[in-house]
Structures are given as C-alpha cells and as structure tokens.
Amino acid sequence: MSGYQVRGMWHVFALVAVIVGVVEYGDRTESRRFETCRESGVPLDECRAFFFGPPRTEADR
C-alpha cells in the first residue's frame, strides 16, 4: 500500500469515529432528559412534548 492509501483510510476512520461520537452523545442527552422527567414525576408524554414538541398527527405528514 502506498502512503496515500493509508492516509485516506485514516481519514475514513476519523470520520466514522466522529459520526459515532455525535450519535452516542445525542442518545445520552435524550436518555438524561427522560431520566430527569422520571425523577421529577412528570408523565413521560408531557416530558416528550416539552422537549420534542407535540406529537405528529396524520395531517402533519
């Protein structure tokens, strides 16, 4: 393998690592929000509406 091919593979690896990190951070943030709702006793539907807006209906699609 030439040096150029190896450098290209490192870029791909770095890009995948960044994407995985962003997705994991989003999942942790969302579960932290719901954990806070559970601890405070707020119903999960109200909590979801607070963070993500009202539920979508068929008319919204």
Output the pLDDT for position 23: 83
Single pTM value for the model = 0.44
| 44 contacts 37 by C-beta, under 8 angstroms | yes
- CA within 13 Å, CB half, 1: 7
CA-to-CA distance for 55 and 44, rounded, in angstroms?
12
Listed in sequence order, the residues at least 6 apart from 50 whose beta carbon sits closer than 8 Å to its beta carbon are: 42
Most distant CA atoms of the chain, gap in Å:
59
- CA within 13 Å, CB half, 52: 11
13-41 pLDDT, tens digit per residue, is 889 999 988 888 877 777 777 787 778 88
Number of domain units in the chain: 1
Query: 31: domain range?
Result: 3-60
